[in-house]
């Protein structure tokens, strides 16, 4: 039987890895270190998945661009000191193995840096499951469609062969701009209502529910 979506592209933070709480905490601590107003948690969750410069423009608009490296240093300090605490969501590894064995090509399109993604792939030993990965610091960041289009070109897939899976409105907007269908998973950074407003094919609340949906429809 031909697969409806031979290419499945996953976001990372908040989709496969339960890291939004650590990201929010690292933002808050960085702001405190630099004497900046601490943004509300909802605002910090909103920027998850965006490129770093876009995130800072949204969160700390009064921060001068020449001070971005200082914020970056503090954020990396706080995040890296605890990134080993962020687990994969339950069932991720077995789902990826099952999808790969079923003949799907798997990829990642993430707002993480290349260095950050490589570290996560090594720590989790998930790199073996993905045929392509794209990061925000080597392409246009979300919601621009470039990362998704580049993954499709690398793997020789068309838009109608591709499904994007993510936990933020940025993931879904990227997919829409690329002409790609999308599934929203609601256990990550953005709320179910925010995700449903962008009209994905479905909203699922767990890896188990995603796995079921893909088995029936993917």
List of residues 6+ apart from 7 with CB closer than 8 A:
104, 105, 106, 107, 151, 152, 155, 157, 161, 162, 163
pLDDT tens digits, 57-111: 999 999 999 999 999 999 999 999 988 878 999 999 999 999 999 999 999 999 9
Note the pTM of the prediction, 2 decimals.
0.95
Active site residue 11: yes
Active site residue 33: no
Write down the catalytic residue from 11, 83, 167, 171. Answer: 11
Q: Is the pLDDT of residue 1 over 60?
A: no
Q: Judging by beta carbons within 10 Å of its beta carbon (0-12, 13-18, 19+), is residue 72 exposed, middle or buried?
A: middle
Estimate the share of the chain in helix, then strand, then coil, as percent rounded to the nearest 5.
50, 15, 35
Tokens for 83?
């990134």
């Amino acid at each position: 039987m031909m697969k409806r979506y031979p290419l499945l592209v996953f976001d990372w933070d908040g989709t496969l890895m339960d890291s939004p709480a650590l990201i929010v905490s690292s933002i808050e601590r960085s702001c405190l270190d630099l004497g900046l107003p601490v943004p509300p948690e909802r605002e910090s969750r909103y920027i998850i998945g965006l490129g770093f410069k876009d995130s800072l423009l949204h969160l700390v608009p009064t921060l001068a661009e020449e001070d971005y490296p200082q914020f970056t240093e503090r954020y990396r300090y706080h995040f890296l000191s605890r990134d080993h605490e962020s687990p994969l969501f339950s069932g991720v590894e077995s789902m990826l193995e099952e999808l790969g064995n079923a003949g799907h090509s798997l990829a990642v399109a993430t707002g993480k840096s290349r260095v950050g993604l490589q570290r996560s792939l090594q720590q989790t030993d998930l790199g073996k499951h993905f045929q392509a990965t794209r990061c925000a610091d080597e392409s246009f960041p979300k919601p621009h469609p470039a990362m998704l289009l580049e993954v499709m070109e690398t793997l020789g897939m068309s838009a109608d062969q591709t499904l994007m899976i993510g936990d933020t409105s940025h993931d879904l907007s990227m997919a829409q701009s690329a002409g790609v269908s999308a599934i929203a998973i609601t256990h990550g950074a953005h709320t179910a209502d925010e995700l449903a407003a962008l009209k994905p094919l479905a909203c699922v609340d767990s890896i188990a529910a995603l796995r079921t949906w893909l088995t029936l429809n993917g």
